[in-house]
Amino acid sequence: MVFSESFKVSLISYFIFSFVDSFQEGIISDWFDINIFLSATLITGAITVIFFDFKPNKDIINHTKKQFIFPWLLAIIGSVIFYLKTKSIGWPALVIAIIAGLFVIILSLVLTKSNSKDN
């Protein structure tokens, strides 16, 4: 599905650009708005979830090590980015970062399972 792949690309692009821009402010955001990738991520993610034809499979899906490491890596990077962007609000920033990390893990595992069913 085109939206599923677009979601993955826009999510990874947003994480990378935000991560780089949070360490050296203005290196990317001076040239273009990073929130464009956030908007694309939200739109393609919503379309993927709405039109995603999920049929529960009772067979056990054998995941590779890569399929487990990738969502956790994205979640850690995403949580760090969210925390760095929201740390000025105090302790709720940590809660927001943890929830964002869990959201990335769950969404990545759902998309990984859907891709393994398609093959």
Please indicate, yes or no, if residue 27 is contained in any of the structural domains: yes
pLDDT value of residue 56: 54
Q: Is residue 1 part of a domain?
A: yes
Within a domain: 57: no
Closest by Cα among 74, 57, 53 to 11: 74
Radius of gyration of the chain (CA): 16
66 within domain boundaries: yes
Secondary structure (3-state) at 19: helix
Check residue 105 and report its DSSP letter.
H
Q: Is 47 found in the same domain as 1?
A: yes
Tell me the pLDDT tens digit for each residue of 4-55. 788 888 888 888 888 888 878 888 888 888 888 788 888 888 888 787 765 5
* Domains held by the chain: number: 2
Instruction: Evaluate whether 79 touches 98 at the Cβ level (below 8 Å).
Output: yes
Determine the structural domain holding residue 30 and report its residue range: 1-52
Same domain assignment for residues 47 and 68: no
- 118 and 93 share a domain? yes
- Same domain? For 39 and 76 the reply is no
